[in-house]
Copies of this chain bind each other. A is one copy, B any other.
């Protein structure tokens, strides 16, 4: 657990607050005070489940009891119960949709990430699959966590996580070389430095400066292969990590993996992943004395 429950609870509260607005009127008018239910959250599709830990905190923070039935990262078949819940019916119905939205999104991201990774591993490559910062606004933590659960690499978790010199920084400073020098003068010893390059020559130049990682931006697989070969010929391949990014999709990912790059990163695993279909079934109802 990398973010304490108390901090995440505040985010869950805000999510629900937006939906609930002036009150869940349907629940208010239909559910008798003190009704207690037991319910299952069920994944209706097969996939990799993510969000069990977050959902458990979410549910408990609203005063309900929860029993996780599987662990985060489990590959499950369709119609698998994943969480068992017991508690106040009105509260459960009021948070149901928000809770399912979180689980469905996280599981969708984990499932997509994992599918790409398996494709690569089954083809015999060891390339890492990394996410980008192309997440939904406000969901950086949850989207990245889902990528990790799907066995992907989170890459930078935020703008503070590593120095990543991109095209816009370079165009303002004047050249990648100058940008790297400026960073070197001031950066903490605790940070890695990555630089984005747009052609093979720049890749070589960047590697010579001793940066930790080079990002090949929008290289075709063929160009990426040439960059790798050039680094090897210059005996720089072992000194630098190489990431390919831009234009990578589920269709062409193996071509990129075959070039020998260390990492491929793609935005679509977070910004456009199909959610996993997950729903809530009430399995028992009892009336508690007030």
Q: Which residues of A contact B (CB under 8 A)?
A: 1-7, 9-11, 13-31, 33, 35, 37, 61-63, 71, 88-91, 93-98, 100-102, 104-105, 108, 128, 130, 133-142, 144, 148, 153-166, 168-169, 171-173, 179, 182-183, 185-192, 194, 213, 241, 243, 262-263, 268, 271-275, 280, 282, 285, 290
Contacts and interface: CB of A to CB of B under 8 A. Distances in A.
Nearest to A241: B189
A282 B161 contact: no
Given A17-B7, A290-B71, A156 B272 contact: no
A197 B94 CA distance: 20
Given A23-B160, A154-B188, A189-B153, A139 B142 contact: no
A126 to B, nearest CB: 12
Contacts of A272: 108, 272-275
A169 B24 CA distance: 12
Contacts of A9: 6
How many copies the complex holds: the figure is 6
Contacts of A262: 189
11 contacts: A4-B62, A5-B63, A15-B138, A20-B160, A21-B21, A25-B187, A101-B133, A137-B138, A161-B190, A162-B190, A272-B273
Nearest to A105: B136
A158 B62 contact: no
A102 to B, nearest CB: 5
A14 to B, nearest CB: 6
A158 B189 contact: no
Q: Which of A22, A24, A35, A194 is the most central at the interface, judged by chain B CB atoms within 10 Å of its CB?
A: A22
A139 B189 CA distance: 22
Contacts of A1: 27-28, 33, 88, 90-91
A106 B21 CA distance: 20
B158 A21 contact: yes
B282 A172 contact: yes
